Amino acid sequence: MIFRELPHPHFSISKFAALISLAVGALTLAGAGEARADFRVCNGTQSLVGGAIGYRTEEGWVTEGWWQIPANSCATLIEGQMRSRYYYLYAEDASGGGRWGGDINMCVADNEFRIVGVEDCFARGFQRVGFKEYDTGRQGSWMVQLSDAPEAPESQN
């Protein structure tokens, strides 16, 4: 059996390929233009880092953790709509090499946690650590970059 290409009066293979290429490009641009509202932490160090986040909700202050953030990678701590203007971050190098924190005391636990309230951490069986405040200005997304100098994490929106 012999197959041969039948000419189509209005459409050629090259036009079809060009149309597919344009469609894929348009879909890529449409996807890239979607606004994501995430709070992300990027670990610019050579070590595994554990991260915890704090924020205000209708039920009060909440802290959550731990996110494991491998070396030279990022993790999304808040997915979707960021409902607060201020977020609080605490992170520590898993090998004990450093910490990224601040002077806002909140509760954390040894293992995965979600804690409501920042009062009486010790009495409730938790630890108290200093979180760093980030004023997101209600931006659609926010990223904190952790560097090898734990005392001075950089943030950018």
pLDDT digits (tens, 9 = 90+) for 74-95: 999 988 777 788 999 999 998 8
Percent of the chain with pLDDT over 70: 71
Q: What's the rounded mean pLDDT across residues 112-131? A: 97
Task: Kindly state the tokens that stand for 16.
Answer: 């079809």
Top pLDDT among 1 and 37 is at: 37
Specify if 84 maps to a domain.
yes
Specify if 145 maps to a domain.
yes
Per-residue pLDDT of 19-74, as tens digits, reads 344 344 433 333 444 455 789 999 999 999 999 999 999 999 999 999 999 999 99
Specify if 49 maps to a domain.
yes
CB burial of 126-150 (b: ≥16 within 10 Å; e: otherwise) equals beebebbebebeeeeebbbebeeeb
Q: What's the rounded mean pLDDT across residues 7-19? A: 40
Specify if 87 maps to a domain.
yes
- Domain range for 131 is 39-156
Q: Which residue type occupies 141?
A: S
Integer angstrom CA distances of residue 56 from 38, 110, 117, 155: 16, 22, 9, 20
Q: At residue 11, does pLDDT exceed 60?
A: no
Considering only 8-12, 121-125, 129-133, 134-138, which range has the smallest mean pLDDT? 8-12
Specify if 56 maps to a domain.
yes
CATH number assigned to the domain comprising residue 101: 2.60.40
Task: Kindly state the tokens that stand for 62.
Answer: 């909440």
Specify if 13 maps to a domain.
no
Rounded CA separation 30/7 (Å): 34
What is the band of 149 on the pLDDT scale with cuts at 50, 70, 90? low
